């Protein structure tokens, strides 16, 4: 099967830290593939107490992020099922992980904000995993997520941006995630991000992906005002294994 961690290794740089969140993850990668200087930290939430946990929905997710920032010993934020208001991730959380216990029911919902808001706006190179980013809206780029190191196994749906990247913008890599029903003037699903093993369905606006790269992904029923609904434009590369239906 496709290895999420193996893909993540491809964008690690010297001096980065690779966090393993569960014992079974160790089986998904070969340590010999790690770049020189990368640190491995094996921290299993079920065995240690250095994970912030939030539940109940509403604005508590932002409080959890503040707690994560306040204590250097904490390395991750675990999100229980619920509908959470949009969040802003402060600087100083590079390498931290925000992960849901169930992607379909751990939802960051832009409609819960008092005004139009991205689901996640990050000033840190964080990792987002196993979450739904829904109904985010941006006057600019990145309606669902703007700024992050990795987005893994997430659902990005019904997000909009007046600029580029209805779903995400400026994310180092989005891996094994679903983009559905997003819209933007350019890059209806994503802009300036590397997409790997993703599925892009029914996104509308400019070209479905603008800038960045796409690898081993599937485009289905996307629509574009410029006729490039199932096309990606201005890509660094468009790898073999990506399927674009006619």
pLDDT tens digits, one per residue of 54-94: 888 999 999 989 888 888 888 899 999 999 999 999 999 99
Q: Which tens digit of pLDDT belongs to each residue from 181-240?
A: 999 999 999 999 999 999 999 999 888 999 889 988 999 888 876 655 555 554 444 444
- Report residue 9: phi and psi, to 5°: -60, -35
Collect all residues with Cβ–Cβ distance below 8 Å to 55 and sequence separation of at least 6.
79, 80, 81, 82
CB 181 within 8 A of CB 203: yes
pTM score of the predicted model: 0.77
**Mean pLDDT value of segment 131-148:** 96
Q: Which carries the bigger pLDDT value, residue 45 or residue 7? A: 7
**Chain-wide mean pLDDT for the chain?**
80
DSSP-based three-state secondary structure for 106: strand
Neighbours of 164 (CB within 10 A): 26
Element at 64 (helix H, strand E)? helix 60-70
Res. 44 pLDDT band, cuts 50 70 90:
very low
């Amino acid at each position: 099967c496709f290895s999420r961690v193996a893909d993540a290794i491809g964008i690690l740089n010297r001096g980065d830290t690779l966090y393993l969140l569960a014992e079974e993850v160790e089986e998904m990668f070969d340590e010999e593939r790690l770049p020189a200087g990368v640190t491995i930290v094996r921290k299993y939430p079920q065995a240690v107490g250095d994970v912030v946990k939030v539940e109940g929905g509403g604005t508590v997710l932002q409080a959890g992020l503040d707690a994560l920032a306040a204590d250097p010993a904490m390395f991750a934020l675990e999100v229980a099922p619920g509908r959470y208001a949009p969040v802003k991730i402060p600087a100083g959380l590079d390498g931290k992980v925000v992960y849901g216990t169930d992607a379909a029911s751990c939802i960051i919902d832009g409609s819960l904000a008092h005004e139009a808001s991205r689901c996640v706006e990050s000033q840190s190179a964080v990792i987002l995993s196993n979450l739904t980013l829904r109904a985010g809206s941006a006057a600019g780029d990145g309606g669902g997520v703007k700024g992050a190191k990795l987005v893994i196994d997430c659902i990005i749906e019904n997000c909009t941006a007046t600029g580029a990247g209805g779903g995400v913008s400026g994310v180092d890599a989005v891996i094994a995630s679903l983009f559905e029903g997003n819209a933007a003037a350019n890059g209806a699903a994503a802009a300036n991000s590397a997409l790997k093993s993703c599925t892009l369905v029914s996104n509308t606006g400019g070209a479905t992906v603008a800038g960045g790269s796409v690898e081993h992904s599937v485009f289905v029923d996307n629509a574009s005002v410029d006729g490039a609904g199932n096309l990606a434009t201005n890509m660094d590369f468009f790898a073999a294994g990506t399927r674009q239906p006619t």
